[in-house]
């Protein structure tokens, strides 16, 4: 279907193993991990990058707000063929999790229902460690606001 057709339907990038298997994939080329909920809209960087990679004919899966306490949630798609792409999300995690006086925020506006605790502090470090724990030899590419702030 043409993307210019107003009646066309563009499916979201797969975010579960079932969605990936419905596309006939055994595993994705690239897994993009984000600290935000997956919203398939160009104002969310992971969706924009995912769609660009998809247009280049890569098989891209999204791992949104994975359980960072265990590597099991990083294994749901199997190992990516090429690399992990990791971002903390739309906003720096410290700013997202804490108010100006260091108090914990009462909600996470980038999580379903504003629920807290779905993203760790410094998610790039945590997600990278879990991805490496899940599949040791797969390259990791960091991106996004927090990656540019933590040099």
| Residue 9 counted as domain residue | no
12 assigned to some structural domain: no
- Give the separation between CA 53 and CA 58, rounded to whole angstroms: 6
pLDDT tens digit sequence for 20-74: 999 999 999 999 999 888 888 888 889 999 999 999 999 999 999 999 999 999 9
Question: Structural domain of residue 139, as residue ranges?
Answer: 17-149
Number of domains in the chain: 1
Q: Is residue 5 part of a domain?
A: no
Domain CATH number, residue 116: 3.40.50
pTM: 0.84
If one compares 35 and 118, the residue with the highest pLDDT of the two is: 35
In a domain, 1, yes or no: no
Q: What is the pLDDT of residue 15?
A: 94
């Amino acid at each position: 279907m043409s993307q210019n057709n107003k009646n066309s339907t563009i499916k979201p990038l797969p975010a579960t193993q079932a969605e990936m298997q419905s596309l006939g994939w055994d595993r994705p080329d690239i897994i993009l991990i984000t600290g935000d909920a997956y919203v398939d809209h160009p104002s969310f960087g992971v969706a924009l990058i995912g769609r660009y990679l998809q247009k280049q004919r890569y098989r891209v899966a999204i791992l949104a707000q994975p359980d960072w306490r265990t590597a099991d949630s990083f294994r749901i798609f199997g190992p990516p063929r090429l690399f992990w792409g990791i971002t903390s999300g739309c906003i720096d995690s410290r700013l997202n999790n804490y108010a100006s006086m260091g108090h914990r925020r009462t909600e996470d506006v980038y999580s379903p229902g504003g629920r807290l605790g779905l993203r760790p502090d410094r998610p790039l470090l945590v997600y990278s460690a879990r991805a490496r724990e899940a599949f040791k030899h797969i390259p990791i590419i960091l991106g996004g606001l927090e990656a540019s702030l933590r040099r």
